[in-house]
Amino acid sequence: MLARLGGAGRDARRCNNAGMSQANSSASSLSESRRRFLTACSAAGVAGTLLPGALLAIAVQGGAKAQAPGDAEAKGGLEKITPAMIDAAAGIAGVRVTDEQKKMMLDGLNSQREDVVAIRGLHLPNSVAPAYVFDPVPAGMRLDTEKRPLKMSAAPDVKGLAGETAAGLAGESDGLAFATVRELAELLRTKKVTSVGLTKMYLARLKRYDPRLHFVITLTEERAMKQAAAADAEMGSGKARGPLHGIPWGGKDLLAVKGYRTTWGAGGFEEQTFDDDAEVVKRLDGAGAVLIAKLTMGALAQGDLWFGARTRNPWNMRQGSSGSSAGSASATAAGCVGFAIGTETLGSISSPSTRCGVTGLRPSYGLVPRTGAMALSWTMDKIGPICRSVEDCALVLSAIYGQDGHDLSVQAVAFNWDAGFDWKKLRVGYLKSAFDPQGPFEMPKAPEANSERDAYNLRVTRMKAAYEQRAYDARYNTAALDKLKAMGVALIPVEMPKFPFGAIVPVLEAEAAAAFDSLTLTGRDALLTGQSAGDWPNQFRVARFYSAVDYVQAMRARTLAIGEMDKLFSTVDVIVTPSSGVQLSATNLTGQPAVIVPNGVRGEDAPKPKNDGDGAPENQGGPGTPVSLTFLGGLYMDAKVAALARAYQEATGFHLVRSRMG
């Protein structure tokens, strides 16, 4: 779900060499064919519509089906575009084209398709990013580029943990396994525990719980034991690399690690390997952290279903852990890693952190380099930590952020964590309408036909269940506002801009379809586990009918959205909100950071899930499962957001409640 893969330049050069002769042979016709195509479309009055993209998708895919697999692209032997194809595309686009206009368009459309085939002949790998860089920084915004020393909280009292070290390492106690990064760092610093000991403990827990939770794709045991031994030797000689030194962690399996497979959670990629480590992996190696596992992710960063199983929620193992950072959240919640790395394009840190009751930090877009990570959406992908506390997240982010010279989206901006920052100086808003009580349940109008009664009754039942769940969970939202007020926070009511953020989301799907274009063209999308209307194979096909013109228009609308969100955050520094709702798409599209924290556990009186079937998509929530609260901030205000979120976390202690593994 992230942008540039490690070795992007190397892969691009290999790709360019392989396709150079074909590209050169067609280069002379590219400009002329585009000119003819645009002229024809303009003359027909449809140049600014969806029609050209839809038509080419129909023509290229339809023609390819008539060929033997692979022949169409290799030989360019596609069917000629016909007036009937134009009619079909026009129907999708919702435009009218006369017979005369269709005749005018035919030559230009067939020429443009030749350009499409030429580009496909380059066989672009996922690591090659587009020749543009998304910049979420609004006009006039000045970035803080001054990097200051990391300021952690005071050393925690670890006497209790030290007392159960032996039992924890032997697997007879869970306390040590659920310690925060800050606590583990102190135990290592004071030599109450060794990195080798911690690594063996977490590896044993991963092996113990993976058969039930399905959160591991590959253990990196050999690599981990070497790193842990090296960490102990360095710390023994007085060399300290920082708070992550010697701490075992797990990474979402879209981060390339040399010597180990990187599967992207997807069928057809089970044995994929890369020749270099992702930049985030390199930086955590440099910080002395110990990689012990490549954790599960939904196939190609969608949901919690991967090629081996569905990753489970430690609080209720009949539920999926949500996704797509499924394994990262589940393993952290189960006390099986010291911390984890996840990614988010549109909720993939927020959602599993909420479901599994852990703390997630989705950084501002352009803060962490994505070099060496699978690309899903070049303009939306973000890498961030999933941990047991906010400060843990801040310590991890401190180690992985900053420019690397490869991912050109990364800004020269500083993330300066200061545990002593006076968060009381912050202007704190809350999304008032999101916290307002629900009105009474409104019954939908009943159908007149008896044949539709069963479907109607099922819909009403589900609507009532959702209503009851929202009403129940509202008490946690209300309690959060009350707690913040008790902490001395003067809450300012704000609202999200009235803007069609959701209408821009097809940009994500179009970029994802481009990132995995070869799957659609070759039919290898059939190897992916999910094959429903909402899964990637179908969404990739739908995205092919989204025209380049409409993509550009959506990106222009995104510029307006950035301006609207900038106006909102000119009035407050941090916004408190439930973790769902329109804010999720808005902030992912415009790049703002988010910190997601546990906000309590539903009681036994909580409404049951709409569907409690094992692994059912609607099996979420219910008795004994966690809820969350989200703190949002202005672009690159990650440290300030984390400061307030940490204060709330320390005041409530919800992050200390452990999953019941049931």
- Distance CA(441)–CA(35), nearest Å, equals 57
- Tokens 């629900």 found at: 438
Give the residue among 213, 147, 139 at the shortest CA–CA distance from 398. Answer: 147
Q: Any idea what DSSP says for residue 132?
A: -
Mean pLDDT of all residues in 136-154: 96
Q: Any idea what DSSP says for residue 387?
A: E
Buried b / exposed e across 512-541, counting CB within 10 Å, b at 16+?
Answer: bbbbbbebbbeebbebbbbeeeebbbebbe
CA torsion angle 609 612 617 618 (round to 10): -30
What was the pLDDT predicted at 78? 77
Tell me if the bond preceding 324 is cis, omega within 30° of 0: yes
Report the sign of the C-alpha dihedral through residues 259, 260, 261, 264, in that order: negative
Mean pLDDT of all residues in 119-133: 95
What was the pLDDT predicted at 28? 42
Measured between alpha carbons, how far is residue 215 from residues 197, 205, 293, 362 in Å?
22, 11, 9, 21
Q: Any idea what DSSP says for residue 177?
A: G
What was the pLDDT predicted at 291? 99
- Tokens 């094959």 found at: 531
Tell me the per-residue pLDDT of 532-582, one tens digit each, with 9 for 90 and over: 999 999 999 999 989 999 999 999 999 999 999 999 999 999 999 999 999
What was the pLDDT predicted at 1? 52
- Listed in order, the ranges of the chain carrying CATH 3.90.1300.10 are 159-428+554-656
- In the predicted model, what is the mean pLDDT of the chain? 90
Tell me the per-residue pLDDT of 68-98, one tens digit each, with 9 for 90 and over: 444 443 345 678 899 999 988 888 878 888 9
Angle between helix 181-189 and 195-213 (nearest 10): 150
What was the pLDDT predicted at 311? 98
What was the pLDDT predicted at 3? 33
Helix residue ranges, H only, 544-622: 548-568, 582-590
Query: For the whole prediction, is pTM greater than 0.95?
Result: no
- Tokens 């990391």 found at: 150
Give the residue among 425, 432, 583 at the shortest CA–CA distance from 490. Answer: 425
- Distance CA(515)–CA(126), nearest Å, equals 6
Give the residue among 109, 105, 131, 93 at the shortest CA–CA distance from 34. Answer: 109
Q: Are 367 and 136 in contact (CB under 8 A)?
A: no
Cα radius of gyration (the chain): 26
Q: Are 298 and 326 in contact (CB under 8 A)?
A: yes
DSSP readout, 302-359? -SSB-SS-B-EETTEEEEE--SSSHHHHHHHHTT-SSEEEEEESSSTTHHHHHHHT-E
Decide if pLDDT at 100 tops 80: yes
What was the pLDDT predicted at 662? 56
Decide if pLDDT at 382 tops 60: yes
- Tokens 């645009």 found at: 38
Helix (H) or strand (E) holding 13: helix 8-44
Query: Of 113-117, 193-197, 472-476, 597-601, which range is least confident?
Result: 113-117
- Distance CA(26)–CA(382), nearest Å, equals 37
Helix residue ranges, H only, 268-365: 279-286, 326-333, 350-356
Give the 3-state secondary structure of residue 595: strand
Tell me the per-residue pLDDT of 148-171, one tens digit each, with 9 for 90 and over: 999 999 999 999 999 999 999 999
The total number of residues written for the chain in this structure: 662
Task: Out of 3.30.530.20, 3.40.50.1370, 3.40.50.720, 3.90.1300.10, select the CATH number for domain 159-428+554-656.
Answer: 3.90.1300.10
- Distance CA(600)–CA(604), nearest Å, equals 13
Mean pLDDT of all residues in 267-293: 98
| Pairing status of strand 626-633 against strand 574-577 | antiparallel
Position with higher pLDDT, 65 vs 448 = 448
Tell me the per-residue pLDDT of 281-326, one tens digit each, with 9 for 90 and over: 999 999 999 999 999 999 999 999 999 999 999 999 999 999 999 9
What was the pLDDT predicted at 169? 96
Q: How many CB atoms lie within 10 A of CB 556?
A: 11
Mean pLDDT of all residues in 591-612: 96
Q: Are 499 and 560 in contact (CB under 8 A)?
A: yes
Tell me the per-residue pLDDT of 188-213, one tens digit each, with 9 for 90 and over: 999 999 999 999 999 999 999 999 99
Please name the amino acid found at residue 530: G
Q: How many CB atoms lie within 10 A of CB 318?
A: 15
Give the 3-state secondary structure of residue 628: strand
Neighbouring residues of 259: CB distance < 8 A, sequence distance ≥ 6: 223, 273
Tell me the per-residue pLDDT of 395-447, one tens digit each, with 9 for 90 and over: 999 999 999 999 999 999 999 999 999 999 999 999 999 999 999 999 988 98
